[in-house]
Amino acid sequence: MRMFDSVSVVLQDIIESGNLTQKSEPNGIYNAMTSVKFIFILHFMIEMLGITDDLCQALQYKLQDILNAMQLVLSTITLLQKFKEHGWDPLIEKVKLFCKDYEIELLNLSAPYKAGREKEMLNMKIQLEHFQLDAHQTMKLQKASTVVELCHVLAKTNKSIIYPLLDRIIHLVLTLPVSTITIERVFSAMKIVKKRLRNRMEDDFFLSTYLVTYIEKEIA
């Protein structure tokens, strides 16, 4: 952390003094270093290393005291749990202050994180692995024999919150046939409704309304 300022200054000097070819790599490093993501990870790693340092030191001794080592394991787990429950808000405040001191643009940290495609695929894989283990232990999931029943079970047991990506895919699977049928009906109806006379209608609203009424005439 103490080296952050020095490294930033060195990178800026290289960027300002170098030619176009030499600027690209240090410029990329500087941009990465001055991002909120990097600052957050930096502070998070400092917290984690601080909590686990004593345990790591103890495990490296050749003549290990098993009882003390086990006690350190338990205390480390307790500290990690304490950080999980109460440490995020102080960590965010440290990140905000650090970004303010170094004039780093701070994003809205309370906004939901939008993951990229690769990240979502990885999350989906992990969620499926959790779901498979869950399904072996939950009788209600085992009794679901159709996709519709599975959707109901996930909603009733609040597992749709635990497995949001899986729940989203199930909803897509359930709505896809309806969407496909509706599209096919639209194209079929257009051939019937859009006759030569109606093609000359100046107001598209009336034609669109007529199409909707014709397509959904069973409901109407």
H-run or E-run covering 51: helix 36-59
**What was the pLDDT predicted at 7?**
86
**What pTM, to 2 d.p., does this model score?**
0.49
H-run or E-run covering 16: helix 4-17
Amino acid 122 reads L
**What was the pLDDT predicted at 189?**
58
Can you give the residue ranges of every domain in the chain? Answer: 4-101, 117-215
What torsion, rounded to 10 degrees, do the Cα atoms 72, 77, 82, 83 define?
Answer: 100
pLDDT tens digits, residue range 145-199?
888 888 888 888 888 888 888 888 888 777 765 545 555 565 565 556 555 445 5
Q: How far is CA 62 from CA 57, 76, 87, in A?
A: 11, 20, 33
Give the distance, in angstroms, between the CA of residue 190 and the centroid of all CA atoms in the same chain: 41
